[in-house]
Amino acid sequence: MNRSLYLIFIIVGYTLGIWTFTVIPKIYMTIGLKGLVLMLVFSAVVVAGVLGQINSIKEKTYRIHEFMVKSARLPAVSVVLVSFLFFVSAVVAHYTGLAVEKLFGIGAPGFGLIIALVAMIILIGTRGRSLDAIAIFSILLIILIIISVFFLRSKVSEVVVKETSREFVRTTLETVFSFSGELNMRTVVLTFLTTLMMFGLGVGFYYIIGMTISGWKFDIKKVLAVVVILQALLSLSAALILTYSIGAAHQAYWSAFEKGKAMEALDVYDKYFLPLWREYTSPERMNFLRLIDTVYGIPDILRKLGMEGGTYIIAFLMISLFFAGFTTLLVLIETGGQIISDMFQVTRKNAILIVSIITGILSTLLSLPAIKEVLVVLVALMLPLFALIESLPALKATKGSGKVAEAIFAILIAIFFIVALVPALQSGGDVALIGIVLGFLLLSPLVFNNFLLKSTR
């Protein structure tokens, strides 16, 4: 396979994650194509920062921790990035496992641990060809998204017969493909945070990419440009998948109501559908946990109300979520393995084993609602802070115009982080506050940077 195409699939596989199917659709469903334009603008800004990270280590031909020590003189950043990576990978593993639970209608927790162990087996089993496995899963995900859009469109046309349900689908699609949505500051902040999440900043992935492609001859700017275009098209496809799924869920409620199951239908409506509807049609709402959890409630609606054809809709939605999460998880564990291997001079196999076990244990803890809320807040709201920390080594090592671009990128991240943090502190509860405090505590290794620098000599 052409190396440029190979790298495109790896990066797309990483960036098309759980957020693509849960958070991004809200942007399209509330402000339509304005959201697409906004995401493209923010993606261009993020790509400028990503290029700085890739080129800074690519030019030095260092491994990631070696670069942090010898070039950036910031070994503590490696510790911060891998610490944050554990929590990100745990959240991704939890929701990837939850997709399996919902697919088969199983209520037992702990699938996140199983998913992490399966990812570990694949990465260790493929040895030096783990990137090939990631590229293959990425291709499968892209194919699945395309098939899901056309299948669900056909299925919804067949099973959604209630006029109000059809009207919902029509109205939502009109919004998605128009510029009529009202743009406000909350949506702009949500879009920026989502773009950072989509690119997976804050865990050192792009330094690993720069280290991997050192010596490769191709234009990395063109590769990232293609990635951004693919992301835009595929995230729009994900919004269509969710729109069709919500339309089917609405039909399931009406079908049950008209068949004499009024109490059961109202119970499911209040518990599952109403929160889903509110989260995805209200621009003023911005709660990542509720956005994600309501999507995973769609199978419960279809299954509990026994909708005709619901099994197929559940299968395509949940398998799409599974592949989106699993492909991202493979990259996260591989990235964490590289950092751990460099930091502690252990074999790649042992490093991946360490990352996978920690990820699995943390993902199991996410079965507890309070811990899940804490960690989702940590990952979603505090990610800009870790993206800022991640940019510091590139900012310190880069020279010329690249340094200016990296500085502008860092300043923008800092501004949006403060804008997002202030209302979260004002309106968030104790659990959200714990997530924010935990995020700041993960930065504590920076205090000991000089000590770490001396100990590596």
Question: Which candidate, 101, 118, 117, places its Cα nearest to that of 109?
Answer: 101
User: How many residues does this entry show for the chain?
Assistant: 457
Query: How is 66-90 classified by DSSP, letter by letter?
Result: HHHHHTS--HHHHHHHHHHHHHHHH
Question: Which candidate, 286, 289, 293, 294, places its Cα nearest to that of 422?
Answer: 286
Helices (H) and strands (E) in the chain, counts: 23, 0
CA 374/CA 288 separation, integer angstroms: 11
**pLDDT for 426 beyond 90:** no
Three-class DSSP category at 162: coil
456 in a structural domain: no
The token duo for 332 is 């996260």
In one-letter notation, the amino acid at residue 437 is V
The token duo for 139 is 């291709």
| E-strand stretches of 6-124 | none
Q: In this predicted structure, which of 147-161, 274-288, 403-417 has the lowest mean pLDDT?
A: 274-288
The number of domains in the chain is 1
| E-strand stretches of 70-188 | none
Q: Which residue has the tokens 């799409």?
A: 320
What mean pLDDT comes out for the span 59-68?
84
Burial (Cβ within 10 Å: 0-12, 13-18, ≥19) of residue 347: exposed
| CA separation, residue 393 to residues 76, 185, 401, 445 (Å) | 10, 31, 16, 15
CA 28/CA 67 separation, integer angstroms: 39
45 in a structural domain: yes
Question: Which candidate, 174, 216, 183, places its Cα nearest to that of 5?
Answer: 216
pLDDT in tens, 10-46: 999 999 899 999 989 989 988 999 999 999 999 999 9
Q: In this predicted structure, which of 67-71, 292-296, 311-315, 423-427 has the lowest mean pLDDT?
A: 423-427
439 in a structural domain: yes
Q: Which residue has the tokens 């067949």?
A: 158
The token duo for 23 is 């958070």
CA 400/CA 26 separation, integer angstroms: 39
* Residues 85 and 203 sit within 8 Å (Cβ to Cβ): yes
Confidence tier at 271 by pLDDT (50, 70, 90) = confident
The token duo for 71 is 């070039």
205 in a structural domain: yes
CATH code, 398: 1.20.1740.10
139 in a structural domain: yes
Average pLDDT, the chain: 88
| CA separation, residue 214 to residues 225, 345, 437, 439 (Å) | 19, 21, 37, 32
The token duo for 269 is 């409506």
pLDDT in tens, 356-410: 999 999 999 999 998 999 999 899 889 999 999 999 998 888 776 677 888 888 9
Query: How is 184-209 classified by DSSP, letter by letter?
Result: -HHHHHHHHHHHHHHHTTTSSHHHHH
Three-class DSSP category at 400: coil
CA 336/CA 351 separation, integer angstroms: 8
pLDDT in tens, 83-110: 999 999 999 999 999 999 999 988 777 8
State residue 95's pLDDT score.
96
State residue 215's pLDDT score.
73
Question: Which candidate, 11, 36, 379, 14, places its Cα nearest to that of 239?
Answer: 36
pLDDT in tens, 182-222: 888 888 888 998 899 999 999 999 988 888 887 777 788 89
**pLDDT for 264 beyond 90:** no
457 in a structural domain: no
The token duo for 338 is 């590289």
pLDDT in tens, 125-153: 987 788 888 999 999 999 999 999 999 89
* Residues 77 and 68 sit within 8 Å (Cβ to Cβ): yes
Question: Which candidate, 155, 193, 226, places its Cα nearest to that of 6?
Answer: 226
454 in a structural domain: no
Most distant CA atoms of the chain, gap in Å: 75
CA 65/CA 208 separation, integer angstroms: 10
**pLDDT for 427 beyond 70:** no
| CA separation, residue 174 to residues 244, 279, 298, 445 (Å) | 13, 18, 22, 49
Residues with Cβ within 8 Å of 66's Cβ and at least 6 positions away in sequence, in order, are 342
Domain that holds residue 98: 3-448
Structure-derived torsion over alpha carbons of residues 213, 219, 223, 229, reported in degrees to the nearest 10? 160
